[in-house]
């Protein structure tokens, strides 16, 4: 096992091991201290969708294709298509449709801020209304921009909001790391039932500091994941991440109870996205 050394102020942390100091005493792994970080009140990166047409190219790119995206999803993600992603009446509208494109029976969109909105610590607020119907799987989530610790799940994932249509109005927040992920059944997360998640807009939020990732739905804390100080296997959240907004169809989770073909077009609406910088201490 390799030891990764990190000097923070006067402490020396080791990833997954302890070591003798020059004085002969044993240095013990210590998690970081919670400094009760706060956040700026004015967003440093903001998308209010106060225009009409395609999502702003200065802020959004697209993941494109029908590979299944590691989850056996059924949709083909299109690029810059108003049929699948458009802005109108102050909202981003992501639409999943039943139509044949690229060998898939459905189309949808997956928008990303990579290279246009990359964040390290801070608060992200997204106000959204979720689609209804069995087989829908909308998500507001984050992936590493640089993948410095390696491929998924080594470099981490933060799921600010996920919802599967066969379990209406139960909304989930979760994290994935090398040590904690669904492929080995160790994922960590929290959930909340929001009775109007599919009919009204609600706030989905992450507060991300060096100490913890905390998830909030309508400002109610639903999940806390604390940095144990043992290195990237449990805490890869010390690198840049970017935001993704998408609406999948089917897949290992979203399609676990099949897909209702009568629900399409299915619509995922986003009112705004706001990122607030953490105030360092």
Per-residue pLDDT of the chain in tens (281 residues, 90 and over written 9): 333 333 333 333 333 444 443 444 454 567 899 999 999 999 999 999 999 999 999 999 999 999 999 999 999 999 999 999 999 999 999 999 999 999 999 999 999 999 999 999 999 999 999 999 999 999 999 999 999 999 999 999 999 999 999 999 999 999 999 999 999 999 999 999 999 999 999 999 999 999 999 999 999 999 999 999 999 999 999 999 999 999 999 999 999 999 999 999 999 999 999 999 999 98
Residue 219 is predicted with a pLDDT of: 97
CB neighbour class for 262 (10 Å; exposed up to 12, middle 13-18, buried from 19): exposed
Residue 66 is predicted with a pLDDT of: 98
- The structure's pTM equals 0.90
Q: What is the DSSP letter of 73?
A: B
Give start-end residues of each CATH 2.60.120.200 domain in the chain.
32-279
d(CA 168, CA 263): 14
Looking from the CA of 213 toward its CB, the CA atoms found within 13 Å total 26
Residue 31 is predicted with a pLDDT of: 86
The sign of the dihedral angle between the CA atoms of 73, 100, 268, 121 is positive
d(CA 113, CA 107): 20
Residue 30 is predicted with a pLDDT of: 77
How remote is the C-alpha of 141 from its chain's centroid? 2
User: Which pairs count as long-range contacts for 221-224, CB under 8 Å and 24+ apart, including other chains?
Assistant: 222/173, 222/190, 222/191, 222/192, 223/173, 223/174, 223/188, 223/189, 223/190
Please name which of 66, 125, 103, 83 lies closest in space to residue 248, comparing C-alpha atoms.
66
Q: List the catalytic residue out of 47, 73, 105, 162.
A: 162
Residue 228 is predicted with a pLDDT of: 97
Peptide bond into 190 cis (omega under 30): no
- What are the CA-CA distances from residue 237 to residues 118, 186, 190, 279 (Å)? 13, 17, 18, 17
Q: What is the DSSP letter of 53?
A: B
In this structure, which CATH number among 3.30.70.20, 1.10.10.10, 2.60.120.200, 3.30.1490.20 belongs to the domain 32-279? 2.60.120.200
Known catalytic residue at 47? no
Residue 239 is predicted with a pLDDT of: 98
- Radius of gyration from C-alpha coordinates of the chain: 20
- Name beta bridge partners: 188: 175
Residue 29 is predicted with a pLDDT of: 64
Known catalytic residue at 157? yes
d(CA 129, CA 49): 15
In degrees, rounded to 5, the angle at the alpha carbon of residue 109 between the alpha carbons of residues 57 and 265 is 130
Residue 28 is predicted with a pLDDT of: 56
Phi then psi for residue 275, to 5 deg, are -115, 130
Please name which of 98, 159, 84 lies closest in space to residue 126, comparing C-alpha atoms.
159
Question: Token pair of 233, please?
Answer: 């296997």
Q: List the catalytic residue out of 47, 73, 105, 157.
A: 157
């Amino acid at each position: 096992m390799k030891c990764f050394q990190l000097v923070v102020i006067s402490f020396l942390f080791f990833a997954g091991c302890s070591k003798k100091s020059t004085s002969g005493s044993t240095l013990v792994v210590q998690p970081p201290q919670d400094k009760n970080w706060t956040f700026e009140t004015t967003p440093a990166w903001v998308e209010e969708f106060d225009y009409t047409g395609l999502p702003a190219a200065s802020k959004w790119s697209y993941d494109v294709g029908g590979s299944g995206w590691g989850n056996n999803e059924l949709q083909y993600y299109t690029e810059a298509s108003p049929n699948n992603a458009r802005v109108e009446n102050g909202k981003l509208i992501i639409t999943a449709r039943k139509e044949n494109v690229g060998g898939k029976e459905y189309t949808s969109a997956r928008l990303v801020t990579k290279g246009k909105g990359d964040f390290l610590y801070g608060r992200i607020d997204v106000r959204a209304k979720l689609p209804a119907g069995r087989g829908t799987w909308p998500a507001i989530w984050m992936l590493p921009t640089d993948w410095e610790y390696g491929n998924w799940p080594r470099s981490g994932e933060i799921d600010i909001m996920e919802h599967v249509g066969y379990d209406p109005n139960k909304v989930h927040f979760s994290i994935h790391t090398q040590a904690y992920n669904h492929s080995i059944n160790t994922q960590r997360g929290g959930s909340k039932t929001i009775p109007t998640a599919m009919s009204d807009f609600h706030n989905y939020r992450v507060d991300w500091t060096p100490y913890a990732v905390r998830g909030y739905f309508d400002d109610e804390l639903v999940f806390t994941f604390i940095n144990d100080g043992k290195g990237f296997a449990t805490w890869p959240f010390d690198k840049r991440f970017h935001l993704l907004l998408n609406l999948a169809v089917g897949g290992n989770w979203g399609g676990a109870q099949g897909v209702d073909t009568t629900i399409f077009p299915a619509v995922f609406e986003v009112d705004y996205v706001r990122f607030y910088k953490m105030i360092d201490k």
